[in-house]
């Protein structure tokens, strides 16, 4: 009897699919994971950019609101709120250093005439021009504030109490030049009262009250001067002294 030799194929250690499919699944899972992670990162980046934009907008709004609360909307000058803050600092500094500062309270003598004859738009224009003129006179040596209507306050550090009068005279002389309203020169003067810390007061209310009272006293004296004796703005002011 002839024997047939049957060769058996050796059984493989593992099937190809046993490792390929899990590897493929792991690779697919990794791709999905990184895609999801990248998508989340992109989303976070967008959220971060959006948050930064919102933060910048919020900061801008805070600055705008702070400016609106501290500055006059018409002239851009500090208003009464900021004036009070600066006067508190000036008083504290002058008290600590035993120095002086001056507060000048002023209003415009012919302002009502401008409003009545040329209209409120011309009055607003005049207020803006007066504010610019006062800033030019001070040249960052003090602060000019508009506290309402045609009323302005100037505060400045001075070396000696008598220096306040020199500053007052300098501001008065600045009104010698007419203001150009609607392409027409318009002469206007200002009544100014002076108060020096600490000689005329040691508080904000005391200093402004003294300066305000001095302003009205000078205005009454000015009204008593006959027109023919008035030599322009500065001459009229010198007649009041």
- Known catalytic residues? 150
| 149 phi and psi angles, rounded to 5 deg | 55, -130
> Which DSSP letter does residue 227 get?
G
Give the Cα-Cα-Cα angle 185, 190, 193 (nearest 5 degrees).
165
What angle in degrees, to the nearest 10, is found between the helix axes of 80-97 and 204-223?
110
| 86: nearest Cα among 191, 208, 213 | 208
What 3-state DSSP class applies to 176?
Answer: coil
Ranges assigned E (strand) in the chain:
100-108, 142-148, 151-158, 179-181, 184-186, 190-197
Residue 76 CA, chain-centre distance (Å), reads 8
Q: Give bridge partners of residue 193 from the DSSP assignment.
A: 105
**Dihedral of alpha carbons 47, 51, 57, 60, sign:** negative
The span from the CA of 214 to the CA of 84, in Å, is: 20
């Amino acid at each position: 009897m002839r024997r047939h030799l049957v060769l058996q194929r050796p059984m493989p250690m593992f099937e190809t699919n046993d490792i390929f499919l899990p590897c493929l699944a792991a690779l697919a899972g990794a791709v999905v994971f990184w895609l999801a992670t990248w998508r989340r990162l992109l989303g976070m980046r967008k959220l971060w950019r959006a948050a930064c934009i919102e933060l910048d907008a919020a900061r801008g709004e805070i600055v705008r609101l702070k400016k609106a609360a501290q500055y006059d909307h018409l002239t851009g000058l500090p208003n009464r709120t900021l004036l009070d803050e600066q006067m508190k600092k000036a008083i504290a500094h002058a008290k600590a250093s035993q120095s002086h500062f001056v507060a000048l309270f002023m209003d415009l003598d012919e302002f009502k005439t401008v409003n009545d004859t040329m209209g409120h738009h011309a009055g607003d224009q005049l207020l803006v021009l007066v504010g610019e003129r006062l800033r030019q006179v001070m040249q960052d040596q003090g602060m000019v504030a508009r506290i309402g209507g045609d009323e302005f306050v100037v505060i400045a550090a001075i070396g000696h109490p008598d220096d306040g009068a020199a500053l007052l005279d300098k501001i008065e002389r600045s009104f010698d030049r007419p203001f150009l309203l609607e392409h027409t020169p318009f002469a206007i003067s200002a009544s100014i009262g002076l108060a020096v810390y600490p000689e005329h007061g040691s508080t904000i209310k005391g200093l402004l009250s003294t300066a305000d009272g001095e302003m009205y006293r000078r205005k009454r004296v000015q009204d008593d001067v006959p027109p023919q004796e008035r030599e322009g703005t500065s001459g009229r002011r010198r007649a009041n002294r």
